[in-house]
């Protein structure tokens, strides 16, 4: 899961050229083999954000990540940071917070607002965002098609935390999260993963390492292992949105 600030650049790119290490996409709905990504995980540049391309990308372990004013960059890093839902670890203090139920947690109730908050979430010493207007439109369309999903944490009628991502088969691909109140996004994340457990989801793709998600039990998987697990998760039928909790959060 990525923070909202400016996407990284790769040694394979400068401001005007793309070297032979990175594939250029055109109109055809194809991607190169993810194993051909460079050392930073950058695989391709160009293309578009139409739903068909995004779904093809996620189904192959590829995701877009680029900054405003730059071409679309497509990434498939290895090793891959993944949480297996059954390995979710919730620390004692967070479990105590969850027991108090300080927030109302919902699913697919305010997707566009969650993306907007994620885009604006500040990060010390950083500026800009990769959650551009084009990205918000593209993922909003995926949400309306039943593939992108949000989790919301509410204090009264105020949205104080949340996260969003994409689901295919029994795989969930986390994109970004935000919090304006203590533990709001953490409790939303835990509620989501516990719901994914009930639905027998097989992996949560966290994409790149963060200490925050490592504390929840996410760990690195080599490319072959990740792609094998992803293929197994995608062999199951898709669960379309809108989603709703069917456990204690309901």
Specify the number of domains making up the chain. 1
> Is 101 inside a domain boundary?
yes
> Is 215 inside a domain boundary?
yes
Q: The whole model's pTM is what?
A: 0.90
Domain CATH code at residue 214: 3.40.630.70
Q: Give the pLDDT score at 21.
A: 73
Return the half-sphere exposure (C-beta side, CA atoms, 13 A cut-off) of residue 234. 17
Residue whose tokens read 């098609």: 145
Neighbours of 76 (CB within 10 A): 26
Nearest to 248 by CA among 163, 187, 171: 187
Q: Give the pLDDT score at 12.
A: 40
> Is 4 inside a domain boundary?
no
The residues, ordered by sequence, that sit 6+ positions from 201 with a Cβ below 8 Å of its Cβ are 85, 167, 170, 171, 172, 233
Return the half-sphere exposure (C-beta side, CA atoms, 13 A cut-off) of residue 196. 31
Instruction: Name the DSSP letter for residue 184.
Output: H
> Is 239 inside a domain boundary?
no
Higher confidence at residue 127 or residue 204? Answer: 204
pLDDT bin (cut points 50, 70, 90) of residue 10 is very low
- The alpha helices in 103-183, defined as continuous H runs, are 111-120, 133-144
Tens-digit pLDDT profile for residues 34-48: 999 999 999 999 999
Q: Give the pLDDT score at 13.
A: 44
Tens-digit pLDDT profile for residues 77-131: 999 999 999 999 999 999 999 999 999 999 999 999 999 999 988 655 555 578 9
> Is 245 inside a domain boundary?
no
Domain that holds residue 185: 81-234
> Is 2 inside a domain boundary?
no
> Is 143 inside a domain boundary?
yes
Q: From CA 32, how far away is CA 121, in angstroms rounded? A: 33
Structure-block tokens of residue 18: 């793309």
> Is 17 inside a domain boundary?
no
Q: Give the pLDDT score at 65.
A: 93
User: Which of 167-189 are b and which e, b meaning 16 or more Cβ less than 10 Å from the residue's Cβ?
Assistant: bbbbbbbbbbbbbebebbbbbbb
Neighbours of 231 (CB within 10 A): 14
């Amino acid at each position: 899961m990525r923070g909202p600030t400016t996407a990284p650049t790769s040694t394979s790119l400068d401001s005007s050229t793309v070297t032979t290490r990175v594939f250029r996409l055109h109109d055809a709905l194809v991607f190169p083999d993810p194993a051909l990504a460079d050392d930073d995980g950058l695989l391709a540049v160009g293309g578009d954000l139409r739903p068909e391309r995004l779904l093809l990308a996620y189904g192959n372990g590829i995701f877009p990540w680029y900054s405003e004013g730059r071409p679309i960059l497509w990434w498939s890093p290895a090793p891959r940071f993944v949480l297996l839902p059954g390995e979710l670890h919730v620390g004692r203090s967070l479990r105590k917070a969850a027991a108090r139920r300080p927030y109302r947690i919902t699913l697919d109730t305010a997707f566009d607002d969650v993306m907007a908050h994620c885009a604006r979430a500040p990060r010390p010493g950083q500026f800009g965002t990769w959650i551009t207007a084009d990205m918000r439109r593209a993922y909003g369309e995926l949400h309306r098609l039943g593939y992108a999903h949000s989790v919301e944490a509410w204090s009264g009628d105020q949205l104080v935390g949340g996260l969003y991502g994409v689901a295919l088969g029994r795989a969930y691909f986390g994109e970004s999260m935000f919090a304006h109140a203590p533990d709001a996004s953490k409790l939303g994340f835990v509620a989501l993963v516990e719901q994914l457990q009930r639905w027998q989801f097989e992996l949560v793709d966290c994409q790149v390492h963060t200490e925050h998600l490592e504390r929840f039990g996410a760990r690195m998987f080599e490319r072959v292992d990740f792609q094998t697990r992803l293929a197994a998760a995608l062999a199951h039928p898709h669960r379309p949105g809108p989603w709703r909790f069917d456990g204690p959060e309901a």
